[in-house]
Amino acid sequence: MRTSDILKKLNIPRHKLYYLEQKGYIKPKRIPMGELESREYSEEDFKKLELVWKYLQNGFKHKIAYQKALEELQSPELKLEEKT
């Protein structure tokens, strides 16, 4: 899945997507395209991003949103908790 696909499907701003990558929360594959590189996101990257973005939109800080996303990926029966 390419960057444009992620941006469209999740309605996430490009700078947020790149920030999450910079922090190491996701690691898309880099594909050389001449002098540039394209990012290729796996299905796992997409699921992780989808959950992190959901938690960020509900007011959680980046680190907590990432931790909650990982917990939810490991235990799919967990539901979005209300922010306390």
36-77 tens-digit pLDDT? 999 999 999 999 999 999 999 999 999 999 999 999 998 866
Q: What is the share, in percent, of the chain residues with pLDDT greater than 90?
A: 83
Looking at residue 81, what is its pLDDT? Answer: 54
Q: What is the share, in percent, of the chain residues with pLDDT greater than 70?
A: 89
CATH top-level class of 3-74: mainly alpha
The two structure tokens encoding residue 26: 């996701």
Tell whether the model's pLDDT for residue 26 goes beyond 70.
yes
Residue type, 5: D
CB atoms near residue 16 (< 10 Å): 16
The two structure tokens encoding residue 81: 């908790």
Give the integer Cα–Cα distance in Å for 18 and 51.
16
**What is the value of pTM for the model shown?**
0.81
